[in-house]
Amino acid sequence: MIKVHLSERHVKQLKSPGRNSLVYINGGHYKEDSSTTRCISGDHLCVFVSQSLYSKLKKCLAPVVYVSSIPLQVVSQEIISRRVFPTHPIAKINNNNSNNIQRLMTSTPRLSFRPLRYPYLRDLKKDTIINATGCIQHFKLPSLPKTRRGYYQSFTITDMSLPPGKEVSVTVFGRGESDFPNNLRVGHIVMLRNVSINMYRMFMQITCRSPRNLFVYDPSKEIEVIREYPMSSLELQIITSLREWVLNKGLLNSHSRLCKIRDIVPGLHFDLECIISSIQIKDSSLHMSVYDETASCSILVPGGIHPSFTVSEGHSVYLFNIHAAPLYSKDTQSFELHLMQHMFRGICFSKLPLMQCQYFVSRQLRFSEGKRFTNLAELLKNKTIPIVHRCKVRVQGIEKESVEECIYLLCSKCNKEYPMKRTGDDTTLASELTQECVSCRKDGKLMYAYLIPLYITDDTASMTVPAVKKEAQVLFRDLKPSNPYLDQEFRNKLLRYIEILIGRNPFDTKSDDTVSLSPLSPPPLPPILDCCIISYYVGSTPKSEEERRNARIRYQISNTQLITY
């Protein structure tokens, strides 16, 4: 047995040879193979076919390689007598070449070609060439190696012969990123043809030198659909049995791996359904800030962004096969602070319709896009009033004892506030809107409105700022205020949006214990609130310096947007 190495020019001119194909080589040089990466064990003679510098200077004919798709047993003496190679009828050959092929044809009965078998993954042996099948458990995106030459993709597979939790690693090499299949999913079946088995770090590994030898099948499809792929009857039987095993084990059900951000455990692979609050491409990687109804986090997808992945802020996405990893912080000398904030090695698919985004509470800033950010310490020191500051803060709590206290009756004309009735029958509670304002009499109409004092903090200071009327309504996805004593659905929605805003239930004293994660995980951070804070004097504007020192200053949230970083 010998190995033949063809140059790139010859590979482009030829059809890809298969097993039992007749290969005719005219030219080339021979030497012993001393490489340590050979697939076949033992020392074998290798044929290197390339146009050497000597042949170029002497103007000699370049080496010629012909490949026939007809097996050796089918090639007849009639083809040799016509002195024409089967797949290249124009290529004439001389008498010596004809004699060589004649000698090869007479020896064909002594040649035996055993088809490559499909062993179970538990029966893999080192330094062998086989075909393999399995079910994908984990996978990574195609990436560049350190040498920056070519791409490679790795994933792990399992089958019915391996015990639970044990997998076999597979590495596929290719020239370009587009050569790799873009339909890999956890639970899909892969078929690998003509692959080599070797040892890597004391573990058995399958190496595939070309993505063309990799075929991916979706077990959710029927066998009639799978038949469209090129396979023999034996391969179809293997795929059918493996498909039944995958469906019985429930390996295809990716929703069983669906996880909330609050429940993420480092080191485990999972799926995540979330909402994008900010997205940008930086250093050939995709950086996304996402959140769901439990918490928020940042996701890093290094390289390999598919062109069909066209999402923007506010879209709901389903992220497959990602996992959390700790990130070391130089400031705190700890691994724990960023444990839940950074994820990588994920792949993004299935942009969901915007109507399915149930927890979308984001709103574009109306007139403060260009304002610089001010921290709370500078805001409290600034005595230039009235003024508008743009801040990035986190809401740590609400200075109310219940959800019902966040709703007030407000006069539409003079903005006078009236507390709501807590007791009485439904008719009495519903008649509040028909009452008259004491100050405006018949001219003012009462309506439900938000009045929520938020306790906000940043790295410099903390303060209490009220969010009223429409500015508070923006934080709750334009949820119109209603009577929480009568409308239970409104009360539940308002409570859920408050939990998103703060990261917990501020009205439940036991919520801190119920949201506890693993011992190594920090509590989920609430989203960052990008807002404008207006400062103004209570009452008339002071004129003298003494009046300014004694005047009361009030702060109020305006022009809000909920984001995460």
Per-residue model confidence as pLDDT tens digits over 248-262? 877 766 545 677 877
Cβ–Cβ < 8 Å for 303, 284: yes
Mean pLDDT is lowest, of 37-41, 116-120, 343-347, for 37-41
Residue bearing the bigger pLDDT, 485 or 474? 485
* Cα 313 → chain centroid: 16
**Other beta carbons within 10 Å of 296:** 26
Residue 433's pLDDT band, with cuts at 50, 70 and 90, is: low
For residues 106 and 24, give the distance between their C-alpha atoms in angstroms, rounded to a whole number.
15
The residue whose two tokens read 């501020």 is: 506
> What distance in Å separates the CA atoms of residue 484 and residue 429, rounded to the nearest whole number?
10
Task: Give the model confidence (pLDDT) of 189-200 as tens digits.
Answer: 888 888 888 887
pLDDT given for residue 316 in this prediction: 74
Whether the predicted pLDDT of 341 surpasses 60? no
Q: Which residues of 182-198 are buried (b: 16+ CB within 10 A; e: fewer)?
A: eebbbbbbbbbbbbbbe
**Is residue 532 within 8 Å of residue 388, measured between CB atoms?**
yes
Give the Cα separation of 441 and 101 in Å (integer). 111
Question: Are residues 179 and 188 in contact, defined by beta-carbon separation less than 8 angstroms?
Answer: no
Other beta carbons less than 10 A from residue 362's beta carbon? 23
* Position 40 pLDDT exceeds 50: no
Rounded CA separation 134/121 (Å): 8
pLDDT tens across 98-108, in order? 555 555 555 44
Indicate whether 384 pLDDT > 80: no
Task: Indicate whether 354 pLDDT > 60.
Answer: no
**Dihedral angle, C-alpha 467, 470, 472, 474, nearest 10 °:** -140
Q: What is the mean pLDDT of residues 135-141?
A: 81
DSSP state of 239: H
For residues 248 and 267, what is the distance between their CA atoms, to the nearest angstrom? 26
Residue 17 has pLDDT above 70, yes or no: no
**Position 79 confidence tier, pLDDT thresholds 50, 70, 90:** very low
Name the DSSP class of 340. T
pLDDT at 557: 81
Q: Which domains does the chain have, with CATH numbers?
A: 2-110 (no CATH), 121-249 (2.40.50.140), 260-356 (2.40.50.140), 376-563 (2.40.50)
| End-to-end C-alpha distance for the chain, whole angstroms | 60
Residue 7: its pLDDT value, please? Answer: 60
Give backbone dihedrals phi and psi of 127, rounded to 5 degrees, phi first: 60, 50
- Poorest-pLDDT segment among 154-168, 201-215, 363-377: 363-377
Q: Percent of the chain beyond pLDDT 70?
A: 54
Q: Tell me what the mean pLDDT of segment 486-509 comes to.
A: 78
H or E stretch covering 92: strand 88-92
- pLDDT of 349 > 50? The answer is no
Alpha carbons 456 and 501: distance in angstroms, whole number: 11
Q: Residue 447: is its pLDDT beyond 50?
A: yes
Whole-number average pLDDT of the chain: 67
Confidence class of residue 415 from pLDDT cuts 50, 70 and 90?
confident
pLDDT for 504 equals: 74
- Give 246's contacts (C-beta < 8 A, 6+ positions apart): 135, 187, 189, 219, 252
Q: 400 Cβ partners below 8 Å, 6+ apart?
A: 406, 452, 453, 506, 507
Q: Are residues 332 and 298 in contact, defined by beta-carbon separation less than 8 angstroms?
A: no
Q: What local confidence, expressed as pLDDT, does residue 321 receive?
A: 65
Mapping DSSP to helix (H, G, I), strand (E, B) and coil, where does residue 329 land?
strand
Count of other CB atoms within 10 angstroms of residue 481: 21
Q: 406 or 527: which carries more pLDDT confidence?
A: 406
The mean pLDDT of 489-502, rounded to a whole number, is 81
pLDDT at residue 353 in the model: 36
Lowest-pLDDT choice from 201-210, 328-337, 395-404 = 328-337
pLDDT for the residue 19: 56
Contacts of 244-250 with CB under 8 Å at 24 or more apart are: 245/135, 245/159, 245/160, 246/135, 246/187, 246/189, 246/219, 247/219
pLDDT for 398 equals 84
Query: pLDDT at position 260, please?
Result: 81
Residue 247 has a pLDDT of 84
Where does 503-562 have alpha helices with state H? 511-514, 545-550
Under 8 Å between Cβ of 89 and 47: no
